Amino acid sequence: MSTETQPSSVDPTGSAATSSGPRPHGSTWSVTWHGVRTVARLELRQRVRSTRWIVSLVVFGVLVGLVTTLTWAFTRSMGSDMIYGGMSGVVGPTMFGFIVFFVLFLGLLVSPTLSATAVNGDRNAGTLATLQITLLSATEIVLGKLLASWVASLAFLAVSLPFIAWAFLAGGNNPAAVVVTVLLLAALLAVVCGIGLGFSALTTRTAGSAVLTYVSVASLTVLSLVVFGLSVPLVSGDEEVRVYEADWSSAPDADPETGWGDDPECEWTERTQYVVHTERTWWLLAINPFVVVADAAPPAVNDDNRFVVFDPLAAIREGVRTARQGPPAEYDYCWQEMSSDEQAGITAFDTHDGPPVWPWGLAANLLLGAGGVLLAIRRLQIPYRNLPKGTRVA
């Protein structure tokens, strides 16, 4: 006569708990730091032993260093009298803006490879079931894999920190901008890792989850800009607006034939003109990770405590905050009453009066990352209800 035994698990005290009974720390949503750390350590040990990860770090550092050197050489070659503020107003802010964007660009390319195969890769290798039959909960497994992929992506960010520091030491940058941008870069890398983890648990093939993660990143960075541009005609049209402009026909000594004269007077009139309502579609720009970083970074200042004009981050900040404000209620076209600085177009990028967009964009990105993590947890809870055909369990 044969007997069948139920699979059991042993807790640290040595007592057995059958699979039909309650498992200590084994519910889907239970979380302990010990469980998360255990999974993260297992994942990181596999990555450290991989020579491909080390080679990727070296290549990443070489690329960032090369771009930093080229940017420094380019900005140094520009004449100091070309931009207000001298060389400190050109080299530092220009280097800092381009290097931060380049690091973010490479980070968005690398992070999906660190998390998009974390679940389905282990499932295909038959090692995921080994974790699931232990006392680890589904939440601990997912958070451990998320922590491991995030730490691995932070290693790439750490490699780029010396070059970000070089750009800052070039002058003209706000010290707070370094702290803010580095923290936001780390947060956005975590978002991408969370999205990749969700697709890794959702799909069976690793190639499919990687492609879906890259499509999501492309949608946030490129497709959002394309849709914003294509939506402009949909939110635009001719409207009756109030305009303050010069009346050239009433100017003293006006030429009867041409209507032109000297020192015309400005007056308020109403006319029909083309108006673009970007306040209806600004959120398409806010979700872009590059916009989040640029809008949150404090403006660069020079020695005269004036905002630097040649600042890529400030240029994006000015554009997105203006887009959120939308068209003005009234238009001032009376150029002759403006100051010489305003007419020359060299006034600073002072956007403190405009509403910031980065809190909304960061919140949207964090929600996407959290959604990926929650999806992965639901897909890893046991017992399974439905599995795709051909899925390997153990």
Beta pairing, strands 265-276 & 236-247: antiparallel
Give the contacts of 205 (CB within 8 A, at least 6 positions apart).
Answer: 120
Token match 């068209």: residue? 327
Beta pairing, strands 236-247 & 330-332: parallel
Burial of 134 (0-12, 13-18, 19+ CB in 10 A): middle
Whole-model pTM? 0.81
Residue 119 has φ and ψ, to the nearest 5°, of -95, -55
**Helix runs in the chain, H state only:** 33-49, 51-77, 91-115, 120-125, 128-132, 138-169, 175-202, 206-218, 224-230, 283-286, 289-296, 312-325, 340-344, 358-380
Which tokens go with 261? 């004269």
pLDDT truncated to tens, each residue of the chain (394 aa)?
Answer: 444 434 434 343 333 333 334 444 457 788 889 999 999 999 998 877 777 888 889 999 999 999 999 988 888 776 444 444 444 456 778 889 999 999 999 999 999 988 999 999 888 888 888 888 888 899 999 999 999 999 999 999 999 999 999 988 887 788 888 999 999 999 999 999 999 999 999 998 999 999 999 999 999 999 999 999 999 999 988 888 888 877 666 555 555 555 555 566 777 888 888 889 999 999 999 999 999 999 999 887 654 545 455 678 888 998 999 999 988 888 887 765 554 444 444 343 444 457 899 999 999 999 999 999 999 999 888 655 666 555 555 5
Amino acid present at 256: P
